[in-house]
Chains A and B, each alone.
Chain A
Amino acid sequence: MEVDLEDEDFEDTTRKLIVPGEPLTSSHAFMRGHGTYVDGEEVVASVAGTVERVNKLVTVRAIRTRYSPEVGDLVVGRITEVQPRRWKVDANSRQDAVLMLSSVNLPGGVQRRKLESDELQMRTFFEEGDLLVAEVQAFFSDGAMSLHTRSLKYGKLRNGQLVTVPPILIKRLKSHFLALPCGVDVILGLNGYIWVSKHVKQSQQEGEEGFDAQAVYSNKNDDIDDATRAAISRVCNIIRILAAQFVPLTDVTLLEAYDWVVEQEGDVKDLLQGDFGEALVTALGGRG
């Protein structure tokens, strides 16, 4: 089963499916990429997925796998451990990510020197079980990722709900912070963790000069009215059914799905019942 060398067949080869142990091509003419290995004369697939080729590099992209991070990715994670000068963060990756004390915003402004007392009160910033949104900053030699929250967009999460989907369903978008018109903010983490929360007005977000540690690292939820609660649950359930149908999530899909669901006038909890998912996907296909 040779990958065709001809360029006109390129589109064809990108869609080709492969399963582990199937030979792809000759190891002399091509370089092996992720999801493949070389055995003698042949490049062989090691995961089930689609074959992709860039010039001489052949890779197989697994259809379902753990999140493989890239620098600059936006991720949502959960603190699993507090260690000296660092937090360990579960980010759906092959090992826990690291958030250094030096890569978070500390109270008292960006320019402030890091003090020993900060190390002693690390739990006042992030505790085990806290959720946060961060950016991938760098990698360690063993492949573990280092995160940072040195932006006012990043930091601790509250007023919402976490939904987990397969990471392949999250495409790279212009912005991963979505504000839906139903008064719900969505953060699409590239690692497949999605945070759905009450909308915070731009003006109410903690500004640069008034960086308020109390508010940023607060563990208390704001008051959330019933309508917002229903909207959050509805968005969460929509994400769940779209993920169950393996539909890639983008801002457009979410908006269309939300509109369609509101048209159906069903109860929020009925969303997860029966064949609602298929109906939703059909409806989305019809519009798109």
Chain B
Amino acid sequence: MSSRIEILNDGGYRSDGRRQYELRDITIDMTPQGSADGCASIAHGLTQVSVSVFGPREAKQRSQTLHDRAVLNVEVNVLPFSTGERRRRGRADRRILELAASIKATFEPVVQTTLYPRAQIDIFVSVQQQDGGLLPACINGTTLALAAAGVPLLDFVCAVSAGVHGAAALLDLSALEEGDLPHAAVAVLPRTKKVTLAALETRLHVDRFAEVFRLACDAGQTIHAEMRRAVRTRTQELVAAMGAGPRAGPGEHVDRDVAMDDDAADY
């Protein structure tokens, strides 16, 4: 497709001016949208997705519920203008269903679903722009939206794609690089360094895989720092806006009132 474009030039730069291990800019927006419980928009360079989380709430179809835990329902909507060739994909498109299934499989071991029996957690992913690394962007966005919705997570899930060009490993591939290189998407839990997703859509040599995999795991830590900061900032803003801080339960409330009176007496 793009044999004339150098993936990695002699100076060690990639087609968009990045170094081998350089990630694209990450922009995170967590302002609430509509009636969703949690919302996040994340952009990795030109790839942009927004995710809304509803729930845990009563399941729409009772037949789908599980008596001992909540059900995750992931729906992906790829907007027709998100990609180079304009094309409307139905919801039943196989690639989209697979994407949704990967997101669901990634989060099922991470969300503490056992706390919410018979409930359903809806995750709606809307892909606004695609420029490579779609699955990692969807996963990172979903993590943020779930955190914003107050759904208990074992840890953040940080995903990134990595590929191989000749002997060089590259991180966070753009669409152009993805088209030419064998690549993998890896999602890690940064605290325990466990891997919850490793997806290969192309053939990648066994000998190269270990290196690419390790690199992606390290990059996950970097992305984690970014996502953590976004969630912290958002939480900080909300706590500051509430002024009085956390909502007190009936028992503790009395205690804190007494403490406040003591303070007032000091002044």
Contacts and interface: CB of A to CB of B under 8 A. Distances in A.
A37 B238 contact: no
B250 A63 contact: no
B150 interface: yes
Contacts of B244: 248
A135 interface: no
A35 B241 contact: no
A164 interface: yes
Interface in B149-172: 149-156
Interface residues of B, number: 50
Given A19-B231, A20-B156, A14 B246 contact: yes
Interface residues of A, number: 45
A19 B147 contact: yes
Given A80-B58, A95-B119, A172-B253, A64 B238 contact: yes
B231 A169 contact: no
A14 B259 CA distance: 13
A11 interface: yes
Nearest to B241: A246
Interface in A228-250: 245-248
A48 B55 contact: no
Interface string B25-58: 0000000000101100000000000000001111
Contact of B67 (A49, A70, A142): A142
Nearest to A248: B242
A46 B153 contact: yes
Interface string A15-42: 1010111110000000000010101000
B252 A64 contact: no
Contact of B232 (A15, A19, A62, A70): A19
Contacts of B238: 63-64, 246
Interface in B115-161: 116-119, 147-156
Contacts of A172: 250, 253
Given A47-B153, A48-B150, A63 B239 contact: yes
A61 interface: yes
Given A14-B245, A49-B246, A96-B58, A20 B147 contact: yes
Contact of A64 (B56, B148, B156): B148
A85 interface: no
A107 interface: no
Interface in B211-249: 228, 231-232, 234-239, 241-249
A54 B249 CA distance: 11
Nearest to B253: A172
Contacts of B35: 164
Contacts of B243: 247-248
Contact of A20 (B154, B234, B242, B246): B154
A63 B151 CA distance: 11
A61 to B, nearest CB: 5
The A contact surface, by secondary structure, is loop
A50 interface: yes
Nearest to B152: A46
A171 B153 contact: no
Given A11-B259, A19-B235, A37-B154, A44 B191 contact: yes
A47 B191 contact: no
A52 interface: yes
A94 B239 contact: no
A245 B37 CA distance: 16
Given A66-B37, A95-B57, A20 B247 contact: no
A168 interface: yes
Contact of A169 (B70, B148, B242, B252): B242
Contact of A52 (B112, B250, B252): B252
A108 interface: no
A64 B37 contact: yes
Contact of A65 (B149, B245, B252): B149
Contact of B150 (A21, A49, A96, A246): A49
Nearest 6 CB-CB pairings of A with B: A65-B150, A21-B155, A62-B150, A246-B241, A46-B152, A94-B56
Interface of A: 11, 14-15, 17, 19-23, 35, 37, 39, 44, 46-50, 52, 54, 61-66, 70, 80, 88, 90, 94-96, 142-144, 164, 168-169, 171-172, 245-248
